């Protein structure tokens, strides 16, 4: 019984995490529909996240000593914060406000496909058109993007609800808020993908991950505050008018940028990143159902078809990445290499038994071939 629970703990944690992400999307949109500024919400979210993560980072750095921050580390962290926090979350909340919660959640599934394209351009991802793995990742990317276009442009007949937005967006479009919101959400997914790419040099330059998270939240708070003061100089927008808005800021800051980081990291450590990514579409399903019931959001036929395409493309990309990991693990697994060595040795011994004793004295050939198998080790 205990083993069964241990085996299912990561899965239960990921399901709970997806419900939490769904709650973040629904609560933030409800707060914005009540009149809260999306840009002010970004600032408060990052400020709360900084206050939540900074003490943990300080204690862990005090115990381990940590690594110093040089000019390169500062530049990378500042740039990653600007792209992954300031720009990403501001346009995400604009898109969440102008479109729907279900659309925002579905667009988030584009991140693996967009990341694959960016990583391929940057040379971090190998593409071989003759490999089934690469074909699956390319096909998945195309399917994801096609599904996103379906969701954005081919809305189709309305299935449920009708909604009128209060004029709280900075852009205040008239009648075309859906398309503009989808473009913002697509841009947010692209910024998040670029942020993932920037994590490679940032983590290499500053390997203290907890402190790295705290610094990003801190820089994101300062940058977002500067952007908000520039775009929205009215200080009245910074006022929280209800306890619900206060709870929203605390919840999205502590859970959305704080607790979720630790749960996600623990699940990745237990089962790997692909296991974690496989649960992303569950959030889309949860948000779509709850948003239609609680927030009375509009649901269109084209949106459902596009969401299915995005989720299907996501799993194609994940399947290709899973096969890549299997190949890498096979090449770096010492047991498999030992099996290859023993098989090679056995075949050579069998050949030597069938030849003359002169060939039995040529042992350097055996040692050379066994040494060549070590070249596959990283």
Give the residue among 349, 351, 347, 340 at the shortest CA–CA distance from 373: 340
Q: Report residue 318 as tokens.
A: 């994940």
Give the residue among 263, 246, 297, 233 at the shortest CA–CA distance from 99: 297
Burial of 362 by CB count in 10 Å (0-12 exposed, 13-18 middle, 19+ buried)? exposed
Looking at the chain, the whole-number percentage of residues with pLDDT higher than 90 is 8
Give the residue among 181, 100, 151 at the shortest CA–CA distance from 307: 151
Contact 140, 321 (CB under 8 A): no
Q: Determine the average pLDDT of the residues in 288-313.
A: 77
Asked whether residue 348 carries a pLDDT value surpassing 50, the answer given is no
Q: Determine the average pLDDT of the residues in 236-250.
A: 87
CA distance 244 to 346: 72
Round the average pLDDT of the chain to a whole number and report it: 75
Residue 43 has what pLDDT? 92
Which of 16-25, 163-172, 296-305 shows the lowest per-residue confidence on average (mean pLDDT)? 163-172
- Cα 298 to chain centroid, rounded: 26
Residue 111 has what pLDDT? 80
Q: Strand pairing partners for 300? A: 158
Residue 363 has what pLDDT? 40
Per-residue confidence band for 156, with pLDDT thresholds at 50, 70 and 90: low
Asked whether residue 225 carries a pLDDT value surpassing 90, the answer given is yes
CA terminus-to-terminus distance, the chain:
40
Q: Determine the average pLDDT of the residues in 23-52.
A: 88
Residue 223 has what pLDDT? 95
Q: Report residue 5 as tokens.
A: 């629970």
Residue 272 has what pLDDT? 64
Give the residue among 265, 275, 259 at the shortest CA–CA distance from 209: 265
């Amino acid at each position: 019984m205990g083993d069964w629970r241990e085996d299912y703990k990561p899965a239960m944690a990921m399901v709970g995490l997806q419900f939490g992400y769904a709650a973040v999307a629904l609560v933030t949109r409800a707060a914005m529909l009540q009149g809260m500024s999306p840009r002010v919400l970004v600032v408060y979210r990052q400020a709360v996240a900084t206050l939540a993560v900074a003490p943990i980072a300080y204690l862990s750095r005090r115990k381990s000593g940590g690594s110093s921050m040089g000019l390169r580390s500062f530049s990378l962290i500042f740039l990653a914060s600007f792209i992954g926090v300031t720009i990403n979350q501001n346009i995400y909340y604009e898109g969440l406000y102008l479109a729907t919660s279900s659309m925002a959640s579905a667009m988030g599934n584009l991140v693996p496909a967009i990341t694959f394209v960016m990583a391929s351009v940057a040379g971090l991802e190998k593409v071989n058109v003759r490999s089934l793995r690469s074909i699956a990742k390319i096909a998945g990317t195309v399917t994801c993007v096609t599904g996103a276009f379906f969701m954005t442009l081919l809305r189709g007949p309305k299935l449920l609800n009708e909604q009128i937005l209060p004029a709280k967006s900075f852009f205040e479009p008239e009648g075309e808020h859906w398309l503009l919101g989808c473009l913002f959400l697509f841009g947010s997914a692209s910024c998040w993908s670029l942020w993932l790419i920037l994590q490679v040099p940032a983590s290499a330059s500053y390997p203290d991950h907890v402190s790295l998270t705290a610094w990003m939240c801190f820089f994101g708070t300062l940058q977002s505050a500067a952007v908000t003061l520039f775009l929205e100089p009215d200080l009245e927008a910074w006022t929280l008018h209800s306890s619900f808005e206060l709870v929203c800021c605390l919840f999205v800051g502590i859970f959305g940028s704080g607790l979720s980081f630790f749960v996600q990291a623990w699940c990745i450590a237990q089962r790997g990143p692909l296991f974690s990514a496989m649960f992303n579409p569950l959030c889309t399903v949860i948000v779509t159902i709850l948003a239609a019931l609680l927030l009375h959001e509009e649901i269109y036929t084209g949106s459902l078809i596009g969401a299915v395409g995005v989720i299907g493309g996501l799993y194609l990309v994940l399947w290709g990445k899973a096969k890549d990991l299997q190949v890498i693990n096979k090449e770096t697994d010492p047991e498999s290499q030992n099996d290859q060595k023993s098989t090679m040795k056995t075949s050579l011994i069998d050949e030597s038994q069938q030849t003359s004793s002169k060939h039995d004295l040529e042992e350097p050939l055996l040692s050379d071939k066994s040494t060549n198998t070590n070249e596959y080790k990283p």
